[in-house]
A = this chain, B = another copy of it.
Amino acid sequence: MSLLVTGSIGIDTVRTPHGVSEDCIGGSAIYFSMSASFFAPVRFVGVVGCDCPFDIPEIFAGRNVDLAGLETRQTSKTFRWAGTYMETMDDRVTDRLELNVLAEHPPAVPKAYADSQFVFLANTAPKLQIELLDQIKNPAFVAADTMNCWITDYLDDLKQLLERVHCLIINAEEAKLLAQEFSLIKAAEKILAMGPPCVIIKKGESGALMCLDDGSMFVLPAYPTATVKDPTGAGDSFAGGFMGYLAETGKKDLGTLKTAVAYGTVVASFTIADFSLEGLTAVTRADIDERLEAFRQFTSF
């Protein structure tokens, strides 16, 4: 079924103990689309400035990504982010952040996308996420991401958004901040009470926790990998694998949601194995399915 993503396109510079990747392509919509396209056709909504050095149609060549929602704003500059990961890879600092075009009005959702059934609203101001969501007629399953600055400074907007989405996909630290609660299980319960019937808390190298409003729960470790070269994009790749599998099956029952979390985890494990999109572009759906089966073996008892 149709899957739409709204999110960022970025010019990233990433430093990790394994090297530096300068002015490479990044952004939530990019990682999400590359990941989701292994499973279902993706409708892409995002905006760059006139300085964008990337040939985005070329990047997605041969993949099922519809770029009718890609806008190039001639009077603006592209979003830029630079960050450095510490030696242990479990912490990072932002060296540079230029919102540029992301600080302006969001790109319009093409009319042809208004019937999208599965929708992912990547992290941005909750007011903009609502504005984007308003352009979709009757979606079957909407997931959203958010981050600490919106929780701290735009909580009322965020709460309005939470009443309208089916799933919040959020980092552990942000979940604790949003719920004002140290226990992740209790935090998930409090977030469920804010509206979404499904909450997924991403715990980085510790895996993910999914809680549903019917009391169902699902926990998975991260896929065990010896080498993490660049964790950038892991969360959006997770969301891409998760939403991609839901859109592929057209279902949202517990069993499908569980497998979708496992697919999201596996896709993210490919992303972090290399810089930028390189970990993802090298793999096939067969590689992903093979790793999913290995993951099932690694975690079943």
Contact = CB atoms under 8 A, between A and B. Distances in A.
A279 B270 CA distance: 40
A209 B226 CA distance: 13
Interface size bracket, A side:
35 or more
B298 A225 contact: no
A218 B185 contact: no
Contact of A220 (B183, B221, B228): B221
Interface string A269-299: 0000000000000000000000000001011
A14 interface: no
B183 A218 contact: no
Contact of A226 (B186, B203, B206, B219): B186
A299 B220 contact: yes
Interface stretch (A58-66, A146-154, A258-266): A258-266
A185 B226 contact: yes
Contact of A227 (B183, B205, B221, B258): B183
Contact of A89 (B182, B226, B259): B182
Contacts of A214: none
Give the oligomeric copy count. Answer: 2
Nearest to A186: B226
A284 to B, nearest CB: 21
Contacts of A220: 221, 299, 301
A110 interface: no
A178 to B, nearest CB: 16
Contacts of A228: 183
B224 A209 contact: yes
Nearest to A206: B206
A87 interface: yes
A108 to B, nearest CB: 37
B225 A185 contact: yes
A173 to B, nearest CB: 11
Given A183-B227, A185-B225, A259 B217 contact: no
Contacts of A183: 226-228
A258 to B, nearest CB: 4
